[in-house]
Structure 1
Amino acid sequence: MKVSISLINLQHDNHQKFKINNLNNQSAFISLIITTYNRPDALALVLESVKQQTLLPKEVIIADDGSRDETRKTIEAVQENFPVPLRHCWQEDDGFRLAKIRNKAIAMAQGSYIIMIDGDIILSKSVVFQHEKQATPNTFIQGSRVLIGPMKTQQLLQSGKTAFSFFTRDLRCRENKIQSRLLFELTKNKYQGSIRGIKGCHMSYWKENVIAINGFNEAFEGWGREDTDFAIRMMNQGFSRKNLKFIAPTGHLYHPERSMHNHEKNNDLAMRAQSMKSTVCDKGIAAYLDTATQ
């Protein structure tokens, strides 16, 4: 009995130390938002990479565009031992409505600064730390990622491991795995004022700046270009772009190409925002700001 009590006390002490250590290494103002749709195995791996961060966010919000119960069960299982609050923002499945679920999750966020990644982006340990370090007023950050091929993706999902190296086989854009402060400094202001390389799968921005442009444009339905439109309006509003490359690598797990049936319409919407120098959209985050659950 004494041994059992000692083991319980040791487990309790270790749990308390775990909580204290994580509180000491937690950003007070960053909310990490992860978008997902019916890919719980990838989401579980992404959340594992979040747990390994040298700096944890204030909270993690899963922006779920209508996944089935398996995703909810995965989130609930992970919540039990997750080091920061893990919240689930879900909407009914009614087609590809990424802009809408992003707006809902940002409205829900308690942090003043948002890091947003897709649910198939695994993080190296310094990603949250580097986003916080590079966050500057009225600036949004475009991150980079390595493209992980189907064979390596399957290996990672089966093993539950998140680590891979520059020399790992079955990678594309492997140069994005390089970590170099000099290369970062040389490229951080490249494409200033340009939409080149804009990808919503790894970005960060101030919540107040998102509200100023009314968030993501919900006129975009179906895959593509809602992130480009978002960046265009950010820059038209006078906000700057910074690139986060060579200091915060991520890996994009493989998935088959998405349907692009709405791509032409979405591209026209984005180009209209650019030609008309739009700064706000009609249907965006404003609809959720008063009703967001805090």
Structure 2
Amino acid sequence: MRISVILSTYNSPVWLWKVLCGYDCQSYRDFDLIIADDGSTEDTREIVERFQAESSIPIKHVWHEDNGFRKTEILNKAISASRADYLVISDGDCVPRSDFVDTHRRHARPAHFLCATYYKLTMAVSEAVTEPHIRSGQAFDFKWLHGQGQPKSMKRLRLVAGPMLGSLLNRITPTKANWSGANSSGWRDDILRVNGFDERMKYGGEDKELGDRLKNNGIRPIRLRYSAICLHLEHARGYVDPESYRRNQMIRHETRRGRLVWTPYGIEKANHADNGQHRAA
């Protein structure tokens, strides 16, 4: 099974380097990286080139011009650029634990997608985490994180739960299972059958709408919230727009109400304008 890890990013080279260091430390290494770059400046290209020079993990940089928040478009371009069987999709601000890719690989099942989440760090702790902390695994030790100022909460179970407790928590968590742009995976063919992400959608729920169409098409979710672990590095969110979020919610409502499985605003466009009304049988 060939695996591609797709990471979305936009003008966050320092955070992206920390994330790439996490992928360089993976216990399972038979995968490639695709950076889905929503219009970053040269700093990001230099980070990718540095990783190419220093790591044995293959990496590809997929970029388009900065024209506002177009994450769904660049993700679709990255999906098209991949030749893998299986896609792990995350963000360039989510540092993976060393077993992250292997966890997705081991849990992959036909006609299913995997959905997880992240453990969110404060800004101060995000800045305190360095490359040596990531490479040593110390960044995933809650006692160390707490010593840097990370507050205690029940969410720390995502870091401290072992395999048995984590498996139990994955099953009983009340959180509805759906695609998460920060930490999900699925078969590339399944994603292509629903035409990838809906490019009308801006920030807020664009990932979950893909999950809605996958589920409408018979692809069932499996939760890995306490097994596939990554740290979310905090950042500003200047792209948040209430009006865009409202439009996204309307698109999601249409997808769920109509049980739509295909978007005509996805990877394929020109010859599929009539496919927007494809519904689950």
SS at match of 1:32: strand
State the partner residue of 1:211. Answer: 192
| 1:252 aligned to which of 232, 237, 240 | 232
State the partner residue of 2:208. Answer: 228
CA-to-aligned-CA distance 1:141-166 (integer Å, 9 cap, x gap): 11221101111111115x55322312
CA-to-aligned-CA distance 1:13-60 (integer Å, 9 cap, x gap): xxxxxxxxxxxxxxx511111110000000001000001000024211
Structure 1: how far apart are the matches of 2:252 and 2:238? 19
Higher alpha-carbon deviation: 43-52 or 246-255:
246-255
1:180 Cα deviation from its structure 2 partner: 2.4
Find out whether 1:105 has 2:81 as its counterpart: no
Q: Which runs of 5+ in 1 are unaligned?
A: 1-27, 289-294
State the partner residue of 1:116. Answer: 89
1:225 Cα deviation from its structure 2 partner: 1.1
Q: Which runs of 5+ in 2 are unaligned?
A: 271-281
The aligned length equals 258
1:186 Cα deviation from its structure 2 partner: 2.6
* Residues 69-218 of structure 1: pairs in structure 2 closer than 5 A: 69-157=42-130, 161-162=133-134, 163-167=139-143, 168-169=145-146, 170-171=150-151, 173-189=155-171, 195=176, 198-218=179-199
CA-to-aligned-CA distance 1:147-194 (integer Å, 9 cap, x gap): 01111111115x5532231222215632211232223333445579x8
State the partner residue of 1:24. Answer: none
1:130 Cα deviation from its structure 2 partner: 0.8
Structure 2: how far apart are the matches of 1:198 and 1:29? 21
Q: 1:257 to 1:74 in 2, by over 3 A?
A: same
1:195 Cα deviation from its structure 2 partner: 4.8
State the partner residue of 1:56. Answer: 29
Q: Sequence identity of aligned pairs in percent?
A: 28
SS at match of 2:140: coil
Structure 2: how far apart are the matches of 1:150 and 1:191? 27
State the partner residue of 1:17. Answer: none
Structure 1: how far apart are the matches of 2:121 and 2:178? 18
The answer to whether the Cα contact below 8 Å between 1:139 and 1:242 also exists between their aligned partners in 2 is yes
| 1:242 aligned to which of 219, 222, 227 | 222
Q: Which amino acid aligns with 2:164?
A: L
Structure 2: how far apart are the matches of 1:218 and 1:148? 29
SS at match of 1:140: strand
Structure 2: how far apart are the matches of 1:191 and 1:280? 29
Structure 2: how far apart are the matches of 1:91 and 1:160? 32
Structure 2: how far apart are the matches of 1:183 and 1:274? 33
Higher alpha-carbon deviation: 183-192 or 257-266:
183-192
SS at match of 1:204: strand
1:110 Cα deviation from its structure 2 partner: 1.6
SS at match of 1:265: helix
Structure 2: how far apart are the matches of 1:32 and 1:247? 17
State the partner residue of 2:279. Answer: none
Q: 1:209 to 1:190 in 2, by over 3 A?
A: farther
Question: Moved runs in structure 1, 4+ residues, more than 6 A?
Answer: none
**C-alpha RMSD of matched pairs (Å):** 2.0
Q: Give TM-score, length-normalised by structure 2.
A: 0.86
1:78 Cα deviation from its structure 2 partner: 1.4
1:196 Cα deviation from its structure 2 partner: 5.3
State the partner residue of 2:255. Answer: 273
Q: 1:265 to 1:277 in 2, by over 3 A?
A: same
Q: Which amino acid aligns with 2:29?
A: L
Q: Which amino acid aligns with 2:141?
A: S
Q: 1:95 to 1:160 in 2, by over 3 A?
A: farther
Which of these two proteins has the greater Rg computed from alpha carbons?
A: 1
